[in-house]
Chain A
C-alpha cells in the first residue's frame, strides 16, 4: 500500500500556511518580522506586541498563477485585527486591486484564523475591516478572492463578514465560521441561548461540515496541506464558477422565508431546507402600525428626512423611502426596532438575518433601476444597537446576511451611487459594518447618545480577561477603544460632526441642517470622484496621527510590492 502521509494544515503556523500554499521558491514576504512594523497600541496597555502583528502577507505563485496570500496567525492575540494587522490585509488587497486594474491579475488568498476585531484596538479594527471589505468587493470584479478557514479558531466577528464577501470559501471540519463567538452570545443572550462550553453544539452549528452542508461554504477539505492547495488552485482555474454568496439575495431571502422559528431549529433541519427549498410559509407585515412604532432616533430621523415620501419596504424593521433633497434623488434606509419580529433576537433594532438581506435587496434594487440613468444617492440612517446575538442567527448564517448588506453598499459605491451615512444614534460593531461603514462619507451628530464601538463593555471585558475597571482605564489610553463619537472623530473617518442638533426630538430646522450636510457630502463625493474609502486615510485628522500606522503600513507595502 502506498498511501502518502498527510501533512496537517491546521497545525501549521500562519507563516507556514502561507509558505505551503505558494509554489516552491516563489514565497516573498512583505513587511516581514525583520521590518519590525508592530502595533503601537499594545505596549501602552502592557501587552507584548509581535513583530508582524499577527498577519503574514506573501507574494508568489499558485500553480504558476500570480497570487498574494494573506495569512492570519491565530496564536497571537486570537488573530485579532488591529490597526497594523488590519492595514496589512487592506493594504495588500488594495495594492492587488491596483495591479488588477492595470491588467496584471493577482489572486488574493485569505487564510483566516481570527476572532475578529482586536478589542484592544477596537475602532481601528472596525475601520480596517470596512476597508478590507471594500477592497474585496472591488477585487471580485477582476479575480476570484479565495477564503480558507482551516481552524482552529476560524473566522469570527467582522472577519466572518469578510469571509462572506469572498468568491469562494474552503473549510476543514475543524474550521468555524460565525459572526458572534460562542462566549459573546452567552454573555449577551444567556446560557440557554448558547452554551459556550458545549463544543459539540458549537461545531454542529458553525463548524465546517455544517457550513458546507447548509450553503455557507464551497469546499470541505480534509486537513491536508496538499488537498487544500489543490482546492485553492481549483477555484482559481474554475474562474467564475462560484457565484459570490453575498450577491444571492433572492435565494437566501427565500430560504429565510420558509423557516418556522417557533421551535429551536436543529442543524439537520437547516441542511434540509437549504438543499430542498420548500414553499414560502411566512407573510411579513407590510409596515408597523403607528401605535407600536419605535420612538428611537432611527425611526424619528427616517420619518423626518423622508418628509412624507412613501415607504416601500415590505419588512417592518427596514425602512426605505425615495425622496428628494432639492433636486437630488435620495434613497433613505433605516434599521428600526420591530417588537413583533419572528426573529426574537432582532426585535430592538439590531441588524439580524432578515435585516442584512433586506438592506441588500433594496440597495440592489436601486442599482438595477438606475443602471442607465441618474444614480440616486443612498443614505443610511444609522442607529443600531448591535448585530443580533442568537443561536438561530448563527445557524442561519447572520455573517452572510451582514456580508450581503456590506456587499450591496460597496457595490452601490462602485456603480457610481453616492453613499452617505448619517449617524444620529448608536453605530456599533457588526451592525455598523453592515449598515453605514461602506459609505463614501460619514456624518454624525455631536451628542452623548452617539457612540461607536465594537462590543459591549461587559463582553469586551470577558473576552480580554479584564475587569470593567481595567477596561475603562485602557479606553483612556487608547483613543480607538473609547465609545464616544468625539474620540472616534480623532481617527479621521468622519466627514462631519454636526453641532447643535436636537438628536431625540428634531425639528424642521434640524432637518434642514442635516439636508444641507447630506447635500454637501454628495457634492464632495461627486467632486472628488473616487469610488473607494480612501478619504478616511487622506483626511487631515487621519494624516495628523489618527491613522498614522494605517498609512505607514500601506506606504511600506507599496514599496515592497514589486
Chain B
C-alpha cells in the first residue's frame, strides 16, 4: 500500500461534501469536503504500488483544470487513470449540487 499527498492552490469554494465510488476491483472511492483554506489537499491511498508518476500526472491535470478549495480523499483499489478522472469529475458534480442525498 502507498499513501500519496498533493496540494494545489485554489480559490473557489464547493457548496457541499460528496462521496462517490467504492473500494472495489478496478474502482476507487472519493470523498470531497469543503475547505476554508486556499488550497485543494489531496490524499491518495492505493493498494497498487509503483505508480506514483501516473498518479501525479492524473491528479495534477484534474486540479489544474478545476479550481476547488477542498479536502479530497481517494481510496483506490486499482482504478485506471480514466476511472480516476471520471470518479473525480463525478465527485465534483455531486459537490456542487444541492440535494442532500446522493450516492
A contacts, CB < 8 Å to B:
13-16, 19, 27, 32-34, 36, 43, 46-51, 73, 75-77
Q: Say whether B83 faces chain A, with CB atoms less than 8 Å apart.
A: no
B18 CB, min distance to chain A CBs, angstroms: 9
Least CB separation from A44: chain B residue: B1
B95 CB, min distance to chain A CBs, angstroms: 12
The residues in B between 79 and 103 inclusive whose CB is less than 8 angstroms from any CB of A are: 101, 103
Query: With A19-B103, A34-B17, A49-B75 in contact, is A75–B24 under 8 Å at CB?
Result: yes
10 A-B pairs with least C-beta separation: A75-B24, A50-B23, A33-B19, A46-B1, A15-B103, A48-B47, A75-B22, A48-B45, A48-B75, A76-B23
- Give the interface residue-count category, chain B: 20 to 34
Cα of A459 to Cα of B22 in the assembled complex, Å: 26
Partner among B27, B45, B73, B75 whose Cβ is within 8 Å of the Cβ of A75: B27
The residues in B between 16 and 30 inclusive whose CB is less than 8 angstroms from any CB of A are: 17, 19, 22-25, 27, 29
SS of A interface (majority): loop
Partner among A15, A33, A48, A73 whose Cβ is within 8 Å of the Cβ of B77: A48
Q: Say whether B14 faces chain A, with CB atoms less than 8 Å apart.
A: no
Residues of A within 8 A of B47 (CB): 46-48
Cα of A13 to Cα of B21 in the assembled complex, Å: 9
Least CB separation from B33: chain A residue: A34
Residues of B within 8 A of A34 (CB): 17, 19, 31, 33
A275 CB, min distance to chain B CBs, angstroms: 39
Cα of A13 to Cα of B24 in the assembled complex, Å: 11
Flag if B23 contacts A27 (CB, 8 Å). no
Cα of A272 to Cα of B27 in the assembled complex, Å: 44
Cα of A50 to Cα of B74 in the assembled complex, Å: 10
Residues of A within 8 A of B41 (CB): none
The residues in B between 37 and 81 inclusive whose CB is less than 8 angstroms from any CB of A are: 45-47, 73, 75-77
Listed A/B pairs (14) with beta-carbon separation below 8 Å:
A13-B103, A16-B103, A32-B19, A33-B19, A33-B29, A34-B17, A36-B31, A43-B45, A48-B75, A48-B76, A50-B29, A51-B29, A51-B31, A51-B73
Cα of A433 to Cα of B103 in the assembled complex, Å: 35
B contacts, CB < 8 Å to A:
1, 17, 19, 22-25, 27, 29, 31, 33, 45-47, 73, 75-77, 101, 103
Cα of A15 to Cα of B102 in the assembled complex, Å: 9
Least CB separation from A33: chain B residue: B19
Cα of A36 to Cα of B17 in the assembled complex, Å: 13
Residues of A within 8 A of B76 (CB): 48
Cα of A49 to Cα of B19 in the assembled complex, Å: 15
B12 CB, min distance to chain A CBs, angstroms: 21
Residues of A within 8 A of B19 (CB): 32-34, 51
Flag if A33 contacts B31 (CB, 8 Å). yes
Residues of A within 8 A of B103 (CB): 13, 15-16, 19
Flag if B101 contacts A19 (CB, 8 Å). yes
Cα of A262 to Cα of B49 in the assembled complex, Å: 53
B24 CB, min distance to chain A CBs, angstroms: 3
A17 CB, min distance to chain B CBs, angstroms: 10
Flag if A47 contacts B101 (CB, 8 Å). no
Least CB separation from B48: chain A residue: A48
Residues of B within 8 A of A33 (CB): 19, 29, 31
Flag if B1 contacts A47 (CB, 8 Å). yes
Flag if B101 contacts A51 (CB, 8 Å). no
Query: With A32-B19, A34-B33 in contact, is A50–B75 under 8 Å at CB?
Result: yes
